[in-house]
């Protein structure tokens, strides 16, 4: 019998609307667990007109009785975490007793931000387009086995020794390479020792917690951050994030075994967006991009940066579904396409005069792609708020069926607006959700 668990992740470069989808589905789960990334990943959720922007905390906390879990695969900035907790409390969200932080998660400290900001701004360095929040350097320390974990943050003696040693090293590196001013270890210790005491009530062995929920017959959703094409292994390297954004990260990032993953749900926009640097084969370079950006409000939830917009890329979606073992697709922002008379969809690539439908591994190959398009008929009428597939315009139905046929995964949900209620659940997926429900 399949475990009552599901991974929900981005099928593209992030910003697919996972926050809303996780929120819509979370009412059926006992726990929602975040398994990768840091506070560089924003999820926007709108509930009856009220807007919640979550950067680090899982969307499950917006559902009374649903546990929100920050797993061991996440890198956590204690100060940013506490600010987000305070904002949620101000909005009337009861986070106490509902939100949990892994004692094995890695800690982001000020010198991580110093190193990343300096490196991203240094002359001659290849810009990746990071948010300069210390995510990458924190993962670097994790992999070099010199990081600080939450369990150690809570031990003042270990914390003080770690900060003193790390500042001595990081200050020397930052000054030598980038000319950065040094960070005061004494001031840092005072600030983070105080923050540790506020974080302490949330800390537990979250791997044990999640496994117990599953063993007791409860359901767990694993919430992805960023998107598949930003995965450290499977994305458009080096223009990627520093963690495992794909479905495999759900096991390593939470301490729940891979055999306990019941199904994988990929979230894809009806088009494609990307923030920051890096290859983007179907990027639009005419006024259509401005139309999609304006109608889709395509600006980063965390940074406010305008997103690059492109047409739906079928080879990329097929690759994403393969990497993740995606069984179900959720299509978001259908309503953004409502005014288009004709919609190009990329069905393959031309590289060096040869046609392929495979995503190349190298940046040079990705940048030399000439996308080959087919054009589908637009519907030029409003789909906003429609919650029944049969009520969609016929051309909109065909656009969705085309994605389904070509990508190899079944469409289970369609989002036709930003609010929680503007969501369509298709019959086959409704049965799946019924089995996942507590």
- Please tell me the distance from the alpha carbon of residue 414 to that of residue 329, in angstroms, as a whole number: 9
Strand, helix or coil at 377? strand
- Asked whether the beta carbons of 406 and 314 are under 8 A apart, the reply is yes
Backbone phi and psi for residue 314, each to the nearest 5 degrees, phi listed first: -65, -45
Catalytic residue among 15, 23, 335, 419: 15
Backbone phi and psi for residue 373, each to the nearest 5 degrees, phi listed first: -110, 150
* Cα 134 → chain centroid: 17
Closest CA to 65 of 20, 24, 19, 31: 31
Burial of 30 (0-12, 13-18, 19+ CB in 10 A): buried
- Please tell me the distance from the alpha carbon of residue 141 to that of residue 134, in angstroms, as a whole number: 11
Q: How many CB atoms lie within 10 A of CB 181?
A: 9
Known catalytic residue at 112: no
First to last CA, the chain: 15
- Please tell me the distance from the alpha carbon of residue 397 to that of residue 51, in angstroms, as a whole number: 29
Q: Enumerate residues 6+ apart whose C-beta is below 8 A from 102.
A: 69, 70, 71, 72, 74, 150, 203, 204, 205, 206, 207, 254, 255
Per the omega criterion (within 30 degrees of 0), is the bond before 238 cis? Answer: yes
Q: Enumerate residues 6+ apart whose C-beta is below 8 A from 47.
A: 23, 62, 419, 420
Could you please report the per-residue DSSP string of 313-327? BHHHHHHHHHHHT--
- Please tell me the distance from the alpha carbon of residue 433 to that of residue 228, in angstroms, as a whole number: 23
Half-sphere exposure of 205 (CA within 13 A, CB side): 4
- Please tell me the distance from the alpha carbon of residue 366 to that of residue 229, in angstroms, as a whole number: 12
Strand, helix or coil at 205? coil
- Asked whether the beta carbons of 246 and 12 are under 8 A apart, the reply is no
Catalytic residue among 39, 43, 112, 162: 43
- Asked whether the beta carbons of 44 and 332 are under 8 A apart, the reply is no
Known catalytic residue at 184: no
Which residues are annotated as catalytic? 15, 43
């Amino acid at each position: 019998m399949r475990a009552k668990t599901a991974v929900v992740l981005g099928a593209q470069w992030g910003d697919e609307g996972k926050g809303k989808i996780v929120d819509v589905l979370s009412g059926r789960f006992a726990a929602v667990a975040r398994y990768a990334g840091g506070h560089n990943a924003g999820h926007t959720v709108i509930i009856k007109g009220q807007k919640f922007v979550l950067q680090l905390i899982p969307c499950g906390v917006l559902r009374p009785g649903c546990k929100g879990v920050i797993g061991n695969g996440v890198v956590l900035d204690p100060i940013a975490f506490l600010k987000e907790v305070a904002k949620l409390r101000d909005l009337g969200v009861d986070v106490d007793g509902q939100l949990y932080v892994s004692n094995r998660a890695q800690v982001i400290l000020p010198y991580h931000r110093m190193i990343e900001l300096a490196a991203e701004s240094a002359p001659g360095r290849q810009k990746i387009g990071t948010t300069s929040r210390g995510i990458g350097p924190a993962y670097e320390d994790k992999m070099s086995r010199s990081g600080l974990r939450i369990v150690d943050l809570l031990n003042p003696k270990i914390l003080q020794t770690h900060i003193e040693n790390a500042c001595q090293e990081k200050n020397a590196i930052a000054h030598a390479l980038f000319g950065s001013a040094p960070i005061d270890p004494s001031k840092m210790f005072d600030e983070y020792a105080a923050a540790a005491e506020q974080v302490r009530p949330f800390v537990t062995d979250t791997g044990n917690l999640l496994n117990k929920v599953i063993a007791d017959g409860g359901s767990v959703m694993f919430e992805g951050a960023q998107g598949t094409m930003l995965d450290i292994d499977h994305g458009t390297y080096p223009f990627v994030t520093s963690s495992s954004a794909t479905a495999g990260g759900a096991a390593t990032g939470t301490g729940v075994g891979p055999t306990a993953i019941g199904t994988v749900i990929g979230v894809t926009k009806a088009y494609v967006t990307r923030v920051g640097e890096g290859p983007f084969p179907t990027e639009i370079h005419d006024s259509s991009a401005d139309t999609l950006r304006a109608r889709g409000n395509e600006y980063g939830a965390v940074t406010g940066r305008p997103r690059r917009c492109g047409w739906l890329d079928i080879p990329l979606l097929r690759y994403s579904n393969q990497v993740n073992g995606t069984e179900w697709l959720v299509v978001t922002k259908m309503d953004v396409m409502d005014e288009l008379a004709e919609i190009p969809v990329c069905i393959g690539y031309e590289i060096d005069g040869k046609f392929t439908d495979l995503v190349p591994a190298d940046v040079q190959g990705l940048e030399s792609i000439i996308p080959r398009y087919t054009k589908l008929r637009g519907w030029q009428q409003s789909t906003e708020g429609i919650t029944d597939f049969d009520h969609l315009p016929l051309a909109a139905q065909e656009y969705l069926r085309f994605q389904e046929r070509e990508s190899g995964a079944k469409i289970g949900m369609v989002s036709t607006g930003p609010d929680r209620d503007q969501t369509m659940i298709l019959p086959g997926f409704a049965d799946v959700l019924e089995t996942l429900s507590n």
